[in-house]
Amino acid sequence: MHTVLVDKVEECKLAVRHLLGEGHRTIAFLLDKLDNSIRCNRLKGYRQALEEAGIPYEEDLVYIFGRDVEKTVAADESAEKGYLLTQAMLRRTPQATAFICMNDAMALGALKAVREAGKRVPGDYSMISFDDLVFADSVHPALTTVGLDKYTWGRKLAQYYFRLLEEPERKESVVKEEDVLVPSRLIVRQSTRRIGP
């Protein structure tokens, strides 16, 4: 399949580096099942960013739906998964000062779970997610998220498509990987805050 790629390892490293830069050292990660490359690469980026900062990886801080929460939820119910995973995090590792949600939809459920526990984002927990969906700046607090530069993504996709049309017999080698690798960007809003000195 022809596609424009996003470096999911680097995308997650952006999120972790932001939290580290805000003084957080105990960062949880909430994920859906590790059954695709996007989630696996984000987990890889999480581990690499911690390692680069000299912080040991702790399996207890990683929450995976289906492993740490067994409840049956519809496949497309990311908000419900975020809610249940956050409840598990608050029980098992309440010492975390920040956490990362697999996507913005999961963050909605996470916000609800934190609120129900009598805690606040970002007062008690900083939270960051991915995708910069249309509601990310409309919820309270507005989500700090990692998203695509959609204009660049669309431009690269169009360029790739036209090159495929020009050289249909060479579809696999029309472009180099770096030509279709779109960088993500950090969008800092209200759901993260600095802690410590």
Domain holding 37: CATH number? 3.40.50.2300
Residue 162 is assigned to a structural domain of this protein: no
Stated length of the chain: 197
The CA distance from 75 to 32, in Å, is 10
Residue 50 is assigned to a structural domain of this protein: yes
Structural domain count of the chain? 1
Residue 179 is assigned to a structural domain of this protein: no
pTM here is 0.83
pLDDT by residue for the chain (197 residues), tens only, comes to 455 556 789 999 999 999 999 999 999 999 999 998 889 999 999 999 999 999 999 999 999 999 999 877 766 789 999 999 999 999 999 999 999 999 999 999 999 999 999 999 999 999 999 988 889 999 999 999 998 766 666 666 676 767 777 776 665 544 454 554 557 889 999 999 999 87
Residue 159 is assigned to a structural domain of this protein: no
Residue 184 is assigned to a structural domain of this protein: no
Residue 70 has a pLDDT of 80
Residue 69: give the domain boundaries.
5-148
**Residue 34 structure tokens:** 């590790």
Residue 31 is assigned to a structural domain of this protein: yes
Residue 160 is assigned to a structural domain of this protein: no
The CA distance from 167 to 173, in Å, is 9
User: At residue 95, what is the residue type?
Assistant: Q
- Write the CB contacts of 21 (distance below 8 Å, at least 6 apart in sequence): none
The CA distance from 168 to 170, in Å, is 5
The CA distance from 130 to 147, in Å, is 6
Residue 169 has a pLDDT of 66
Residue 134 has a pLDDT of 87
Residue 165 is assigned to a structural domain of this protein: no
Residue 71 has a pLDDT of 79
